[in-house]
Structure 1
Amino acid sequence: MVRAIRGAIQVEGNERDAILSGVTELVTEVMERNGLTTDDVISVIFTATPDLTAEFPALAARKLGFHDVPLICCTEIDVPGALPRVVRLMAHVETDKPRQAIQHVYLRGAVALRVDIAQ
């Protein structure tokens, strides 16, 4: 089965290291909580709020071993009053888990985005 996993993290600032560190933490948590390896991942879409321009979030995934996984980065729409400095992801994975067993991961300030599904 193919499932989509959502996640987000609020990073400390628009610095390369802050973005890479935050995305590394997010991707690692998504993978661990869902018992996945890179072979299970079909693709990942990353979005970053418009205030994050210092690095591509996908680079963190590449450094974690996502060498042959299609990755793309996009800018999140600039909604007035939206939470700043947020990187989101949507990972498409192959898994036998039912939809209810998928763990979506929201870290740091991004927990406020989806308190209904954040674990």
Structure 2
Amino acid sequence: MTVPAILVFDGDCGFCTRSAEVAERIARGRFTVVPWQRLDLDALGLTPQECEEAVQFVRGSGSRHTHVSGHRAVAAALREAGVPWSVVGRVLTAPGLDAVAARVYRWAAAHRHQLPGGTPACALPPGPR
């Protein structure tokens, strides 16, 4: 079974849901955007913990799936969306900018309950990031 590219987000988070709505608009049908709570994570090779901690971008078929998370998932989705977004996606993972994008993503994930659309329910449980 071939699975189209999927951007997997936390559907319990208001900030994530609003961000996913933006992703759907730029995707133009090139990938799907689905909350992890509605997916068979085992079939995609994901865990609930991975999906709670960071957005995931999954590609694959049959039992072979690959995924990237966090800022690399955002970059992969942007690359999949085509021009002009693909340029932004490549920039996010360019040498020298990859580490900066990772830090910005980790900060946003840790503070998503304080960002536009966020609610106290968006807060991540304490733990290493």
Please confirm whether the aligned pair reaches a TM-score higher than 0.5, indicating the same fold.
Answer: no
Q: Which has the larger radius of gyration?
A: 2
Q: Indicate the structure with greater strand content.
A: 1
Q: Indicate the structure with greater helix content.
A: 2
Higher relative contact order (CA closer than 8 Å, sequence separation 6+): 1
TM-score by length of 2: 0.28
TM-score by length of 1: 0.30
